[in-house]
Amino acid sequence: MTFQKDKIEDFKKVFEESKAFIRAFEGCHHLELWQQTDQPNVFFTYSMWESEDHLNQYRHSDLFKTTWARTKPLFEDKPSAWSVSGLQYLP
């Protein structure tokens, strides 16, 4: 997600206020926020869900709608999202 440079702190606040609720949403097993080092207005969220159905329940929830409504005006560019399957994990 690419944010307007003067809206970075606003986004961080939205995430801070929402993260515990997202993480506690049924089916969410993991949630991370990443910031690009050479472009500090670019962020990535990484979450792990029990199933695609659980993720879709979140995407259609009031929590998502409320969080998205607060986040969307902060964007500088159109956001992208991907669903992926893990193939290997090497701790």
Domains and CATH numbers, the chain: 5-74 (3.30.70.100)
Q: Alpha helix (H) ranges present in 4-85?
A: 8-24, 52-59, 62-71
Predicted structure pTM score: 0.90
User: What integer pLDDT is reported at residue 89 of this predicted model?
Assistant: 86
Question: Does pLDDT of 13 surpass 90?
Answer: yes
Cα dist from 83 to 7, 9, 76, 80, whole Å: 26, 27, 22, 11
How far is it, in rounded angstroms, from Cα 27 to Cα 1? 23
**3-state SS, residue 84:** coil
Give me the pLDDT at residue 20, please. 98
Helix/strand/coil for 52: helix
What pLDDT shows up at residue 91? 86
